Amino acid sequence: MPILEKISQSSRARHWTDSIPLEFHYTAGVAGEEFRRELKKNGRFLASKCAKCKNSYVPARMFCPTCFIEIKDTRTIDEPGYVYSYTTVNRNRTGEPSEPVTIALIRFEGVKGGIVHKLNNEPNKVTFGMKVVAILKDNAERTGALTDIIAFKPE
């Protein structure tokens, strides 16, 4: 069909199903790499700290979204996090009923941003502001991915 030819009746359109073998590789970026390296090596979360506005951000990032300047300072977060928001999912990806899984946005005092992850707790016992800590894979099993975090649990 020439490129300028238009279909005026949708019943005349042809389609087929196939696949295109493409592969993508993404990097986590400079700050993301540092965050992942700290998680893998020391099992801690790395935050970026802006020298101008003094805000800290987790996960670590290269630029301050408030000041629009490069962030060069980092600090580790050694305090427990807290449940900022959560939801409980009781269906799997195909919509079938499944065991309930609680997903929470975990934030840290004095730090902007947060980490969305599973929360190991009975759904009806989760409260906003509940202090939580990360359950990590063993050091030898960690790869520097967010899946190094098994889940969060009450402190």
Binding Zn ion by CB under 5 A: which of 7, 53, 116, 133? 53
Sign of CA dihedral 36, 42, 45, 49: negative
Binding Zn ion by CB under 5 A: which of 37, 41, 52, 131? 52
> Nearest to residue 140, comparing CAs of 43, 27, 44?
43
Contact of 103 with 138, CB cutoff 8 Å: no
Is there binding between residue 51 and Zn ion (CB under 5 A)? Answer: no
Q: Which stretch binds Zn ion (CB under 5 A): 25-33, 48-56, 99-107, 127-135?
A: 48-56
DSSP label of 39? H
Is there binding between residue 111 and Zn ion (CB under 5 A)? Answer: no
Least Å distance between CB 64 and Zn ion? 3
CA distance to 20, 32, 43, 113, 116, per residue, from 148 (Å): 31, 14, 9, 19, 13
Is there binding between residue 64 and Zn ion (CB under 5 A)? Answer: yes
Could you list the residues that contact Zn ion (CB under 5 A)? 50, 52-53, 64, 66-67
